[in-house]
Amino acid sequence: MEHRFLGASGLKVSEITYGNWLTHGSQIEEDAATACVHAALDAGISSFDTADAYADGAAETVLGRALKGQRRQSLEIFTKVYWPTGPKGPNDVGLSRKHVMESIDASLTRLGTDYVDLYQAHRYDTGTPLEETMQAFADVVRSGKALYIGVSEWTAPQLREGAALAKRLGVPLVSNQPQYSALWRVIEGEVVPASEELGLSQIVFSPIAQGVLTGKYRPGQPVPEGSRATDTKGGADFVKRFLRDDVLQRVQDLAPIAAELDLTSAQLAVAWVLQNQNVASAIIGASRPEQVAENVKAAGVVVPLPLMERVDEVLGDVVERDAARTAANAPKTRPA
Distance from chain centroid for Cα 257: 25
Residue 97 neighbours by CB under 8 Å, 6+ apart:
132, 133, 135, 136
Helix residue ranges, H only, 122-244 = 130-142, 156-169, 191-198, 235-239
CB 284 within 8 A of CB 180: no
Distances (CA, A) of 20 to 25, 120, 192, 314: 9, 15, 25, 31
Which one of 18, 54, 124, 148 is the catalytic residue? 54
Helix residue ranges, H only, 177-323 = 191-198, 235-239, 245-252, 255-260, 265-274, 289-295, 305-315
Strands 3-5 and 12-14: antiparallel
Distances (CA, A) of 165 to 132, 189, 303: 10, 24, 37
Please, how many CA atoms are within 13 Å of residue 279, restricted to the half-sphere of its CB?
A: 25
CB 48 within 8 A of CB 63: yes
Taking the C-alpha atoms of residue 264 and residue 214, their distance in angstroms, rounded to an integer, is 8
CB 298 within 8 A of CB 274: yes
115 is catalytic: no
If you compute the radius of gyration of the chain from its CA atoms, what whole number of angstroms results? 19
- By CB atoms closer than 10 A (0-12, 13-18, 19+), residue 93 is buried
Catalytically active residues, by annotation: 54
